[in-house]
Amino acid sequence: MPEINDQTPRSAITIAKHEFEVPSPYAAGHVLNENEAAALNQTFKENLRNNFAPKVKAKATNEDESVRELTEQEVAELQNELDTIAASYEFGVRGSRGESASLSPIEKHTRKVAHEALMGMLKAKNIKLKDVSEEKYEELISKISEKEEIKNAAQMRLDQEETLAKLDLAV
């Protein structure tokens, strides 16, 4: 662990809707010790698993929603795909269905409301989200996010959250 002192860069985190400043001691070029390397490898594996699990689940799920064993060939194909993803993986860069860390709070809320609206539309048409390609999903979310009703709903949610965060609730 690098030394933390008054010169250490700091960044903001939010805990229970309150912002705090914490040290950010790691920088490009930092040499990892054994524990840091183990923690980073563990996070890498967890992120790959979390990002790839839906693809495996979709491949192993039958039309009647039952789960089947994958063939050796299917596992090998998925392994090749996972190897490709792992080789190009970057920490802090989210996939297209995740929220980007660079989105503002209102953009995050707008995407969330758009996602909820899309889920309702798909359900009404008896279409499952897993049957929608990532490209089509992003296209639909972008179109829905542009609608004034969606923007207004997102702003209302953000305003409500901010109001609730400011309440002094003596519990």
Tokens at residue 120, please? 């309702």
Model pTM score:
0.50
Domain range list for the chain: 1-93, 100-171
Q: What is the pLDDT of residues 96-147, one digit of tens each?
A: 444 445 677 888 889 999 999 999 999 999 998 888 888 888 889 999 999 9
Q: What is the pLDDT of residues 130-143, one digit of tens each?
A: 888 888 888 899 99
Cα–Cα distance, 79 to 39 (Å, whole number): 23
80 CA to centre of own chain: 23
State the pLDDT at residue 51: 82
